[in-house]
Structure 1
């Protein structure tokens, strides 16, 4: 493969071609910006992820014009929740989002959105990593790109940083991840199944290790569909904080969980392609923006602290960032404006969710809350709505108001509020 052609300049440089970065590039190109989309990987490539799409993520794919992409994918009507000898089957709530979720492997999803961005006019650069910047008057003037042919620079007007969990470019710009609030550790694998056409996502709130010990996390299993013919995504996630780190080996926990659900889901053979990841959650980063740059997706810790879901937030933030770019002529400094957008969209929910997630890392908190909760369909419906990222600042019903009130109370005692 020939070395990537590095443009000398870009109006908008998007660093990272995951769902958030590629969505941002597609929206920016559609809006008429000169866009360069850059990623250190060569596509198609895999990414550690649960692969599930919430109704909120489905809505964002519709915004992009990719709704038909899901036509031959699983239509997941809701969650079947298990724990402490009880089960509840809860449909996704109806409202402003579609009434169904879906599932697509990250190999396929990321490639589809990336290809859309290119089709709309974004210039794609693969196999090149943004490693540093040069500044002029407090703004990024050039981004330094490491390639196989040596270092190159791209002169930029604006930069959208979507380079993932560790965010090397974000770190160079002052981004800092704070682990005093809840973060996640997760592993996923694929298994063959005779039940790969199911319309429900299985979720086990009572997660136990091979030794029977209760863990502060949950397990999931659901059909993958598409090119993942007869495959299920099976995974486990656990919560941790700096004070209470997750001391667990993920591989044996995932293998034990896959064995536990093996008969129910007609699993054939051991888990394959097992990968793991560490997840910043709930806006637990500072330095999310500067005069001409914004962080989105995992780089901005846009991950639900209660379930590790972040695809929907990444897609949404990519769209919102471009909307802010379109207003640059009036107010060209994004530093407080982007942080305020993130706080307004996610701050209250993230504060409440990560406080609850932190509580769930306390021994005995999970069975104390989970044992009575799993027996209430009404309560589980509220849990699914919160876990599915399906409450928005515009919702005015009782559950939404109560969740925002919890967020406001939590925010008042946060030592470090989200995105600060």
Structure 2
């Protein structure tokens, strides 16, 4: 399918141009095509392609895939019941809490997941353009009139009505449109690799809250082990069979940057968990990424464009999770598009939607994440915390993005209160 699509001429016009075919962009394209819009989905890569990620799917992400029409896609994928948390000589197994979302998560490599959602968008009518990058825009009356696309044959314009920007953490097109990333709040650095394993069908995600380097020094981060199940030959290239995604992440701010050599830390962590997770080989496909988090960007929308997913820093500030937010913002952006005739300027409306859905949680989470960048804060909070089942249940709920505005229990009310207090003292609230 990809080779046939790649030979098609670049479209001259799109009602809706979606820039970036990751989970958020492809989900937006699928929703928009289903709603009857003429959609072009553009990506600089040729699929399938790899993406630095933990590959974990929270129950919130599972719910969004089901909403998209891909619920059965996960039937033969790992069913993850919760997190197995470790640290300071203690451990807790915490199931995903019941509530508005399914009681299980999953894990799928981004090489496979992104391609599956992209193919769904194409099947629903989106026109796919691969191997072409959006590099500039032509404006008319404050609106995007054309998006300039660069590919092997040079540059060409695509005239547009609306643009959904889903080109990832660096967001080149977003930057051209005025997007600015503010690093004074917490951001993430992370690295991941794949390893062969005899426990790739385990129903638990491993998470080590006490991360140490090869020299034994405590680091301001955490490690993860996510089981991917049996991987078919081809998607990951180097092997088939049981595979784990193993990774390490750290929090940082402009005042306290994370000076970490991620590769040796990741290799050390893989050795550390090797026996527990029946790892049978060395890590491969080691990649790293920098993550804006918690809505720490401004310029998320204009009269006829919106930034979604990672481009809008819709990433959990405590653990770097963003697939669920990407899928969700893709759907919300298309819902706003359907109001275009009534109110054609997205600038304030899209920012308000992001704030309404994520503002309180992002403000509270990134303030806590900022605290965790302070030396000794992690052991001070983590050592007693790992021994409390109720506190770890709260941690899993927050890290899994599983508290919603509709939740009325004590924990949810307390978390929203913390968000409101935090928002009042934010010198730059999320998405501002």
- Same-fold call, TM cutoff 0.5: yes
Contact persistence 1:4–1:127 (CA under 8 A):
no
Equivalent residue, structure 2, for 1:258: 270
Q: Matched residues in 2 for 1:182 and 1:222: separation?
A: 24
Give 1:222 deviation, angstroms: 2.0
Aligned equivalent of 1:341, options 343, 353, 372: 353
Equivalent residue, structure 2, for 1:123: 127
Contact persistence 2:54–2:226 (CA under 8 A):
no
Equivalent residue, structure 2, for 1:61: 65
Aligned equivalent of 1:305, options 317, 327, 350: 317
Aligned equivalent of 1:101, options 102, 105, 111: 105
Instruction: Classify the secondary structure of the residue corresponding to 1:351.
Output: helix
- Any residues of structure 2 matched to 1:319-330 within 5 Å, and which? 319-330=331-342
Instruction: Classify the secondary structure of the residue corresponding to 2:281.
Output: strand
Aligned equivalent of 1:408, options 420, 429, 432: 420
String of CA shifts for 1:296-322, please: whole Å, max 9, x gaps.
011000000001000000000000000
Is 1:206 the counterpart of 2:210 in the alignment?
yes
Is 1:5 the counterpart of 2:13 in the alignment?
no
Give 1:229 deviation, angstroms: 2.5
Instruction: Classify the secondary structure of the residue corresponding to 1:268.
Output: coil
Aligned equivalent of 1:267, options 263, 270, 279: 279
Aligned equivalent of 2:409, options 386, 394, 397: 397
Q: Matched residues in 2 for 1:262 and 1:14: separation?
A: 41
Paired residues, what number?
A: 420
Instruction: Classify the secondary structure of the residue corresponding to 2:17.
Output: strand
Instruction: Classify the secondary structure of the residue corresponding to 1:93.
Output: coil
Q: Matched residues in 1 for 2:256 and 2:7: separation?
A: 45
Aligned equivalent of 1:78, options 58, 82, 93: 82
Contact persistence 2:188–2:250 (CA under 8 A):
yes
Equivalent residue, structure 1, for 2:236: none
Is 1:187 the counterpart of 2:191 in the alignment?
yes
Give 1:393 deviation, angstroms: 1.2
Contact persistence 1:342–1:419 (CA under 8 A):
yes
Q: Matched residues in 1 for 2:426 and 2:285: separation?
A: 39
Q: Matched residues in 2 for 1:394 and 1:334: separation?
A: 25
String of CA shifts for 1:220-247, please: whole Å, max 9, x gaps.
0021124363001100000000000001
Gaps of 5+ in 1: none
Equivalent residue, structure 2, for 1:160: 164
Give 1:197 deviation, angstroms: 1.3
Q: Matched residues in 1 for 2:66 and 2:425: separation?
A: 38
Q: TM-score, length-normalised on structure 1?
A: 0.99
RMSD value over aligned CA atoms? 0.8
Q: Matched residues in 2 for 1:98 and 1:67: separation?
A: 11
Equivalent residue, structure 2, for 1:365: 377
Is 1:223 the counterpart of 2:217 in the alignment?
no
Q: TM-score, length-normalised on structure 2?
A: 0.96
Gaps of 5+ in 2: 233-239
Aligned equivalent of 2:249, options 237, 241, 260: 237
